Structure 1
């Protein structure tokens, strides 16, 4: 087994991996951007290293910076979590070429399955059904139109390296082809560093079913049952459960066997997920996620198998010690993504401070998170701040327990989608297990979401003041965060006879600092921290079009002198992995453009000025 693992990620998945490492007696190394210097995964790790500025492309996606952090720390393996570099075969190959071990499938297997066109061709060879479409990338609008003429509209344009609905665009008519093709290519480049796309027939009302697999280097391939991820909005999963309420025993067996055939054909090792679309009793291969999934927790709850531990064990060369027949699905589990979003405002990302953060507990309730009360939730990264996983003996009991847990989950200071979840656990269609991937976007009455937010939403601030902690004024504790050559240290000082002072941060480059203690961390949960970020507002003259959230400018659609009307798009802002059109409230002439493609902006920053 490894002695020290670098986790090339952030947030709850980084803490989840670190907890598995701790269970195995393995020390952990965090990497962090400037925006995450106080983040929970940094506080939880045994040691941490700065890898760059807030923009992910300059930090978490910087191959050399992450590998160099591993070298500095003396790590012997890298776990990528999900997102960021988790499915980047180029990065995996660089890790394999270094002194570090890659905790995941080989770079070759990632290329065979991570790029969707190659994966479709391979699955056909393994006699796994695929959705009708191309097995080669398309480059022009004319190619897309030819395929649509063959299969009929709608068709789906998908980023070759994509996943989670990013880089996926549905085309309903010939008039939409050029714009949707350009958007899919742009998202593929932005999120996956790969602008290649392919086209397939778009299924109208499918179920989204995925199979968790584990495979080792000794030829053992196991599946751990399926998850139902059909409750989605804009192809983003919001609630996942295991097992699926929509499969009978025969279909369940056929899908599980197909997943095993496919990954065996690909010579795949470690954990992965084979995703299928199910419609009218038939199933079709969609893609393989060559990494751990957000929703792996539901599988863990119904199988009792720790998927992340097995990732570490397989990467260390161990053999899977259970047979396929030993895998038993017991009970039911549902995972609720607790996203910082306003469900009543079309699930727009929200930012702010967790003035109150009090998650539920009790039988069958699990919380995976990396935040604590007082933390700031910014807009630089994914909007998910926690996961609530509820398990019970059957689905009916699981839904009842979910109602209780969601009602106990108190978050104040920032909007979350907890009210939406509370609506869904009482929704007749969801409770009956009859929902499809289209249910949220096309069937659910939006007014019901607004009513749920009005009834159960509460992002207000607490009015209670801080109480005296009872400590003597004679002893003052000071906490410093010191950064030396990119490595993060925490220093606690006790000073007698001094007046109390607020927490401060000291940043030194090459200066002396407290050394790493060398022993395993004694932290049991991520600790809360204060933020020292200052809001930066760009001033302009005339009517200002401002950013409603933090994010990165993906495109600027206007120039100085352009005439725009009310509701026109002036730029596209990416926030929390979602594209958002920035539009004008009133018309006018563009007198100033204060941003360019690739710029990072804060909420309230002026983007465009009209006169």
Structure 2
């Protein structure tokens, strides 16, 4: 077994991995960016190392900085959690090649094969796993999309090879959209995954999203731990997951589970992973989907999933511990027939978002009150505590609430109780949305598909739930001045650099008369302090609805625009968002440029 594991992640998943290490009597190492220096995973770890500034590309995604931190800590293994570098085959290969450090996850070769969607489709097809009609080679010419549409019809999904969770995917409704959506998918793939290769699939109109948890060891054993139903999504991002699926018959779930085992075995896969499938819903079905229902391979996630606790609750298998044990060379201690499924579980992502405003993420705030629920069958995975500030540089997740019960009806009732108990003040979350869904007839009946939230639910019901159960909107006071002071101290012959924070203090004068070099403020859109673009004129101001980065500016001053024209493409929550004109007019000012960061409420364009 390992002596010390560095967790190359942050937040609740970092704490989750550290807890598993602690139970295995393994030491833990955290890494953190400047934005995360006071975060929960840093407090929890045995030791922690700064790997760079807030920008993820300069910290959590910096391969050399992460590996160097492992060397400094004398860690003999790295666990990537999910997100960031978890599915980066290049980083995994560097860890594999680093002397004395073990990668806790599938091999870089397996990650490369299954991470690139066209290779994965080929492997699954050869293993007799059903795949959605589509291409097995990368597509480089939009004419190929048109030819595919002529053969299979529209809509068509154009997907980035390195994408997932809806990132890098564009849907072509008809031939007129081919060129724009093709270029957008390539651009998003290059921006987020360093790979502009795309492939095509027939776009399923009303699917259910079913995924199978698998774990395999280096001794040839492959086990599946049942399925999770992740069909409740908004913009392809999951919000509630559950297991087992309320839509599958036992015969169908066995078919899907065995298909997952065949596929990963054919890929020589080792460690934990998830094989995702789309199952075609049958309109007006009476009872569960039978063994003749169509299901298709979607992708393999070569890492632990956000929703892995659902499977842990219904099987009793600690997936993270087995990730670590398998990486240490141990053999799985249970056969497939030993996997028993007990009851029903649901996971609720407690995101700092306002569901009534199209799940707009919070721009900041502090947890003035944070009191999670407890009781029989209730589990909370988190890293934040009361008084902590929300770090908005990465994702919006505050915590995960996982509820287990004897059956689905009891699970829903217990979940409602737990959600009512969950007290969060100071930050708007989607707790009211979750309470609504557990009284929603379509969800309670288990008839929701991946399109339900985006296309079918009455949005006014979400607004009513937020008004009834959400916090009152208030403007948080400005944080008091924080001054950082750096000192060098010596303990038992060893020198340490120490940073101290003092709140409300007057900055120390420096040799050049400036403020303490440790104190800094984020730059506004448009450049350094005082250099932001001034907004002029009395026209309509088109503002950013969320924090993000400007990917492209589609208009210039003097351009005539019509309602619905795209003005700016804003990246937020790992997705491209088209900012459009709500009325026609002339662009009198463009207040942002490509590559700039903007906060919610910043003016982007002025239209006269």
> What TM-score, normalized to structure 1?
0.87
Whole-Å Cα distance in 2 between the matches of residues 57 and 82 of structure 1? Answer: 16
**Cα displacement (A) at 1:604:** 4.3
In structure 2, the partner of 1:189 is: 190
Q: 2:266 matched to 1:265?
A: yes
In structure 2, the partner of 1:234 is: 235
What does residue range 331-370 of structure 1 map to in structure 2 within 5 Å? 331-353=343-365, 354-370=367-383
In structure 2, the partner of 1:151 is: 152
**Cα displacement (A) at 1:85:** 1.0
Q: Once structures 1 and 2 are overlaid, which stretch shifts more, 66-75 or 401-410?
A: 66-75
Whole-Å Cα distance in 2 between the matches of residues 82 and 360 of structure 1? Answer: 25
**Cα displacement (A) at 1:595:** 3.7
Q: Once structures 1 and 2 are overlaid, which stretch shifts more, 579-588 or 70-79?
A: 579-588
Q: 2:411 matched to 1:398?
A: yes
In structure 2, the partner of 1:38 is: 38
Closer, same or farther: CA 427–601 of 1 in aligned 2, 3 Å: same
Equivalent position to 1:556, from 550, 553, 556: 553
In structure 1, the partner of 2:14 is: 14
Whole-Å Cα distance in 2 between the matches of residues 119 and 173 of structure 1? Answer: 27
Over residues 52-106 of structure 1, what are the superposed CA-to-partner deviations in whole Å (9 max), with x where a residue is unaligned?
2222222211212211221222111111111111111111111111122111000
In structure 2, the partner of 1:127 is: 128
Please state whether the residue corresponding to 2:415 is helix, strand or coil. Answer: helix
Whole-Å Cα distance in 1 between the matches of residues 346 and 430 of structure 2? Answer: 16
Whole-Å Cα distance in 2 between the matches of residues 10 and 506 of structure 1? Answer: 30
Q: Once structures 1 and 2 are overlaid, which stretch shifts more, 184-193 or 577-586?
A: 577-586
Q: 2:342 matched to 1:330?
A: yes
Q: 2:387 matched to 1:374?
A: yes
**Cα displacement (A) at 1:597:** 2.7
**Cα displacement (A) at 1:352:** 2.5
Is the 1:482–1:488 Cα contact (8 Å) retained in structure 2?
A: no
Q: Once structures 1 and 2 are overlaid, which stretch shifts more, 18-27 or 46-55?
A: 46-55
In structure 1, the partner of 2:222 is: 221
Q: Once structures 1 and 2 are overlaid, which stretch shifts more, 314-323 or 441-450?
A: 441-450
In structure 2, the partner of 1:199 is: 200
Over residues 127-160 of structure 1, what are the superposed CA-to-partner deviations in whole Å (9 max), with x where a residue is unaligned?
1111111101111211111111111111111111
In structure 1, the partner of 2:429 is: 416
Equivalent position to 1:315, from 310, 322, 327: 327
Closer, same or farther: CA 140–186 of 1 in aligned 2, 3 Å: same
What does residue range 50-61 of structure 1 map to in structure 2 within 5 Å? 50-61=50-61
Q: Once structures 1 and 2 are overlaid, which stretch shifts more, 253-262 or 566-575?
A: 566-575
Whole-Å Cα distance in 2 between the matches of residues 388 and 504 of structure 1? Answer: 39
In structure 1, the partner of 2:179 is: 178
Whole-Å Cα distance in 2 between the matches of residues 298 and 483 of structure 1? Answer: 46
Whole-Å Cα distance in 2 between the matches of residues 506 and 332 of structure 1? Answer: 56
In structure 2, the partner of 1:295 is: 307
Is the 1:113–1:119 Cα contact (8 Å) retained in structure 2?
A: yes
**Cα displacement (A) at 1:502:** 4.3
Is the 1:103–1:312 Cα contact (8 Å) retained in structure 2?
A: yes
Is the 2:438–2:444 Cα contact (8 Å) retained in structure 1?
A: yes
**Cα displacement (A) at 1:259:** 0.6
**Cα displacement (A) at 1:191:** 2.2
In structure 2, the partner of 1:304 is: 316
In structure 2, the partner of 1:25 is: 25
Please state whether the residue corresponding to 2:329 is helix, strand or coil. Answer: coil
Please state whether the residue corresponding to 1:433 is helix, strand or coil. Answer: coil
**Cα displacement (A) at 1:556:** 2.0
Please state whether the residue corresponding to 2:54 is helix, strand or coil. Answer: coil
Whole-Å Cα distance in 2 between the matches of residues 596 and 484 of structure 1? Answer: 41
Q: Once structures 1 and 2 are overlaid, which stretch shifts more, 40-49 or 421-430?
A: 40-49
Gaps of 5+ in 1: 464-477, 494-500, 508-530
Closer, same or farther: CA 532–39 of 1 in aligned 2, 3 Å: farther
Closer, same or farther: CA 26–461 of 1 in aligned 2, 3 Å: farther
Q: 2:212 matched to 1:211?
A: yes
Whole-Å Cα distance in 2 between the matches of residues 227 and 74 of structure 1? Answer: 37
Whole-Å Cα distance in 1 between the matches of residues 44 and 472 of structure 2? Answer: 27
Gaps of 5+ in 2: 283-292, 477-481, 490-494, 509-518, 526-531
In structure 1, the partner of 2:290 is: none
In structure 2, the partner of 1:542 is: 536
Whole-Å Cα distance in 2 between the matches of residues 482 and 359 of structure 1? Answer: 36
Please state whether the residue corresponding to 1:64 is helix, strand or coil. Answer: helix
Q: 2:446 matched to 1:433?
A: yes
Is the 1:414–1:460 Cα contact (8 Å) retained in structure 2?
A: no
Whole-Å Cα distance in 2 between the matches of residues 417 and 59 of structure 1? Answer: 29
**Cα displacement (A) at 1:594:** 4.8
Is the 2:524–2:597 Cα contact (8 Å) retained in structure 1?
A: no
Please state whether the residue corresponding to 2:449 is helix, strand or coil. Answer: coil
Whole-Å Cα distance in 2 between the matches of residues 43 and 480 of structure 1? Answer: 19
